[in-house]
Amino acid sequence: LEKSKEVNVTIVTSGPQTADNDLDQLIAAGAKVKYLDVAKLLSTGVQHAKLWTVDNQHGYLGSANMDWRSLTQVKELGVFFKDCPRLATDLSKIIGAFGHVAEPGIMFPINWTSEFTAIYNRTNPMKLLLNGVPANVYISMSPPAFRPPGREDDLEAILHIIDSAQSFVYVAVMDFQAAVKSYSGKPDAYWPDLSNALIKASFERGVEVRILVSHWAHTSPKLRHFMKAIRTLHGVNGASLRIRFFVVPVETPEQRAIPFSRVNHNKYMVTDKTLYVGTSNWSGDYFKFAGGAGFVVECDEDHISSKSAKCLRKELEEVFLRDWNSVYTDEL
């Protein structure tokens, strides 16, 4: 609130506009709030990206909503970076693109101006030092209808990472369903893009696949069936396909009374070559109809000096294995 009186604060949030005490106070203090009504524009969907940029120097991309529960009651994971103007400027372009789509009267296909065009993508990644380690970096985006020229598609980024893995793919995501979920009463549509990619990687190339999904008060009964469909091929043709459910314990009546909490909410993937931190759950409706973004890093681990900090990819691998081997998981 105090910063809104001193600096330019712009927020792009899900529309349509409704009464919200926090946003109302920010608007009164001088913040500019744009409401992105994805469902109105695409017939279904939501603004689901969780992004920050500050002064074109610092930024955040991850699973955490701007909600007190994300700090105290929900298990989150994100990437925070500081003093990196190229990366912050690129992330600002994505936030700006979402803000542009939120403008009244937007028409499809969008006539994008050059200020939103992405310079960096999978074929032309940003070359940085992350914690002292050389890395190729780019930021992907969804849905396709909101994506400016040059910006990597979020789903295509994930599929390329899976296809490029040589020894393992570890996925941690709250919800993973081989479906485009319908919220209008119509049947869901089958959507095997991600599950097929993981099965193919393990079945054809011997890549070890581990999937860590969440089990909480709002888990769909369909989730277990979709995971069983993947797990069924474990051991066939040497495939290694394992699934575990992560349960955040509810230890007090007060915790139980908090709505939409006590869940492992992260959305990331790490392979032997690449890390991906995203904002979308793994079902087709998110990649087709929801505002989202992904942070992709491929580290040059052959050139890590003794003075360098640990490679970011290795850090994420260790986080996954910590959770996978914890007392909070149950194997399917």
What is residue 235's DSSP assignment?
T
Active-site residue, 300 included: no
User: For residue 196, how many C-alpha atoms fall within 13 Å in the half-sphere facing its CB?
Assistant: 7
Q: What is the DSSP string of 269-306?
A: EEESSEEEEESS-BSHHHHHHSBEEEEEEEE-GGG--T
What whole-number distance in Å separates Cα of residue 176 and Cα of residue 209?
14
What whole-number distance in Å separates Cα of residue 88 and Cα of residue 229?
40
Active-site residue, 265 included: yes
What whole-number distance in Å separates Cα of residue 40 and Cα of residue 145?
13
Cα-Cα end-to-end distance for the chain? 46
Nearest alpha-carbon partner for 141 in 313, 37, 288, 38: 288
Which is catalytic among the residues 34, 50, 93, 267? Answer: 50
Question: Is 44 in contact with 289 (CB distance < 8 Å)?
Answer: yes
Which is catalytic among the residues 34, 48, 181, 267? Answer: 48
- Count CB atoms within 10 A of the CB of residue 136: 18
What whole-number distance in Å separates Cα of residue 244 and Cα of residue 185?
30
Active-site residue, 75 included: no
Which is catalytic among the residues 20, 22, 24, 55? Answer: 55
Strand 152-153 relative to strand 133-142, pairing? parallel
- Count CB atoms within 10 A of the CB of residue 257: 9
Active-site residue, 55 included: yes
What whole-number distance in Å separates Cα of residue 246 and Cα of residue 323?
8
Question: What is the SS3 assignment for 25?
Answer: helix
Question: Is 294 in contact with 159 (CB distance < 8 Å)?
Answer: no
Which is catalytic among the residues 181, 265, 267, 288? Answer: 265
Q: Which residues are catalytic?
A: 48, 50, 55, 265
